[in-house]
Amino acid sequence: MSALKNGFERLLEIIVVVLMLVLAAIVIVGFTSRLIGAPLVWYDEVASIGLAWLTYYGAALAAAKGAHIACPNIVNMFPPPLRVACAIFAELLVIGFFALLAYTGMQVLMILEGSTLVSVTSVSLQLTQSVIPVASLLFIIAEVLRLPDVIRQAKGAGFVDHELEEAGISTVSHPATATTGRA
């Protein structure tokens, strides 16, 4: 399962890097075209779609790495059995939300049948908006692949607050000895 999770993360990393490079190129081309006085009509629309794609796929990557928004210190206050129940409940809520988003995204794609971009009429809106159900499914896969780690952390010392860790503040996850101080 670990190899599958790592491979999935790597795939998402490649997708996100490619999207970042493509978006950077689009912005540079758009900026340059405006600078020389010949703005491209498709630039704004394509750049905004690229940013949406980067956001959705980036969110799936964050889910795969366990880097999405959370409140680990609150969950860590509970004893391990309650932590496990809270963690599983939270994961089910997240998976349920993204299942609903994928379903709704598919409905949107059906509504958009036959519609195209305004500035690039050869590009279907179904293609551009397919990011919603596709990334939602990738998010669900990420959550399912992370579930064993989440349960293991919930049963053990608890969850690490990565934001505090990055800020140089260490936290002790045991509820009885929970203190925060400079690392």
- Determine the structural domain holding residue 61 and report its residue range: 2-182
- Note the pLDDT of residue 183: 39
Residue 20 binned pLDDT confidence (cut-offs 50, 70, 90):
very high
Which of 23-27, 46-50, 109-113, 178-182 is least confident?
Answer: 178-182
Structure tokens at 39: 């703005």
pLDDT at position 101 over 60: yes
Which of 24-33, 76-85, 97-106 is least confident?
Answer: 76-85
Do residues 129 and 105 lie in contact, with contact meaning Cβ atoms separated by under 8 Å? yes
- Note the pLDDT of residue 80: 86
50-74 tens-digit pLDDT: 999 999 999 999 999 988 877 788 8
Global pTM exceeds 0.85: no
Structure tokens at 93: 């809520």
- Note the pLDDT of residue 178: 44
Which residue has better confidence, 30 or 77? 30
122-178 tens-digit pLDDT: 999 999 999 999 999 999 999 999 999 899 988 888 787 766 667 777 654 444 444
For the chain, strand residue ranges (E) read: 169-171, 180-182
- Note the pLDDT of residue 77: 87
Average pLDDT of the chain is 88
Q: How far apart are CA 159 and CA 113, in angstroms?
A: 44
Residue with tokens 């750049």: 47
Q: How far apart are CA 89 and CA 73, in angstroms?
A: 16
Which residue has better confidence, 154 or 1? 154
Which residue has better confidence, 107 or 165? 107
Structure tokens at 4: 């599958």
Structure tokens at 31: 């900026």
* Rg (alpha carbons) of the chain, rounded to whole number: 21
Q: How far apart are CA 172 and CA 62, in angstroms?
A: 24
User: Domain count of the chain?
Assistant: 1
**Beta-bridge partner residues of 180:** 171
Which residue has better confidence, 19 or 71? 19
